[in-house]
Amino acid sequence: MEKPKFEFDCRTCLYRWENFKTLTEEQLQLLCNHRYEASFKPGEIIFKKGSPTSSVIFLVSGMAKVFLEGLDGKSIIISIAKPGMMISGPGTYGDMRHHFTLTSLTDVKACFIDMTVMKQLVHLNSAFAEGLISDISNKSLLMYYKLVGLTQKKMPGRLADAILYLANQIYETDEFDLILNRQELGDFTNMAKESVIRILKDFEEDGLIESNCSRIKILDKPKLQMISENG
């Protein structure tokens, strides 16, 4: 009986990131020899803005929030991380410092891959390098659209965006138990928690959603999309 080259977790975890498929068996082995796992309880800091980065991170299971720590203790949630995404800040190829904080929202199992290995793979495999550039570019692109949304849309448009993002990108269903509280929803949409509550109520009264506390159900997606587009 042949011994499997990699343990179960490694394969499933890593292979969810498309770009690892460009690697040869040997290169994948190199990667697996330099990976570490850690577990986190909800609300724990996985890495903190300002701390040194020496690895990129993949979630094996669970969800986390990626957020900028802004002025006066206010936060801006950039995105919700779930398994299969590479989480690496712009500091990874710059000043080697984290520029945002990653905090678990649920129980999280995370896989850390040493940056020196990532850089080695960039040298060894140009398809991998190109995939990495592509990944970073796409994240940058999302930031552009986030910037437009947060600065130019009014509150209902921003909140509609958030709900659609959660339904389409994160939960992949139109009814879900929200892991973000109202404050965090505010951090994601750049509004006060009170405003989140008020507009969520408006949406409910207009028959766009059904919401009681953490449960949200989208009732009229086309209308929600219209609000998102018209700001």
Partner DNA sequence: TTAAAATGATGACATTTATCATTATTTTGA
Partner DNA sequence: TCAAAATAATGATAAATGTCATCATTTTAA
Q: What is the contact surface with DNA in residues (CB under 7 A)?
A: 154-155, 181-183, 190-195, 197-198, 200-201, 211-214
Binding partner selected for residue 76 from DNA, a copy of itself, none, CB under the kind-specific 5 to 8 Å limit: a copy of itself
Q: Closer CB to a copy of itself, residue 30 or residue 76?
A: 76
Question: CA 110, CA 36: separation in Å to the nearest integer?
Answer: 8
The tokens for 230 are 């018209």
**Is residue 45 within the footprint of a copy of itself (CB under 8 A)?**
no
User: Residues 6 or more apart from 208 whose CB is under 8 A from it?
Assistant: 218, 219, 220, 223, 224, 227
**Is residue 65 within the footprint of a copy of itself (CB under 8 A)?**
no
Task: Tell me the torsion sign for CA atoms 131, 136, 142, 148.
Answer: negative
Pairing relationship of beta strands 86-87 and 55-61 according to DSSP bridges = antiparallel
CA angle 189, 193, 195 (to 5 degrees): 80
Q: Closer CB to a copy of itself, residue 122 or residue 219?
A: 122
Give residue 116's identity as a one-letter amino acid code. T
Largest CA distance in the chain: 63
Binding partner selected for residue 192 from DNA, a copy of itself, none, CB under the kind-specific 5 to 8 Å limit: DNA
Binding partner selected for residue 45 from a copy of itself, DNA, none, CB under the kind-specific 5 to 8 Å limit: none
Least distance in angstroms from the C-beta of 5 to DNA: 41
What are the residues binding a copy of itself (CB under 8 A)?
Answer: 68, 70-72, 74, 76, 78, 89-94, 99-100, 119, 122-123, 126, 129-130, 132-134, 136-141, 143-144, 146-148, 150-153, 190, 231
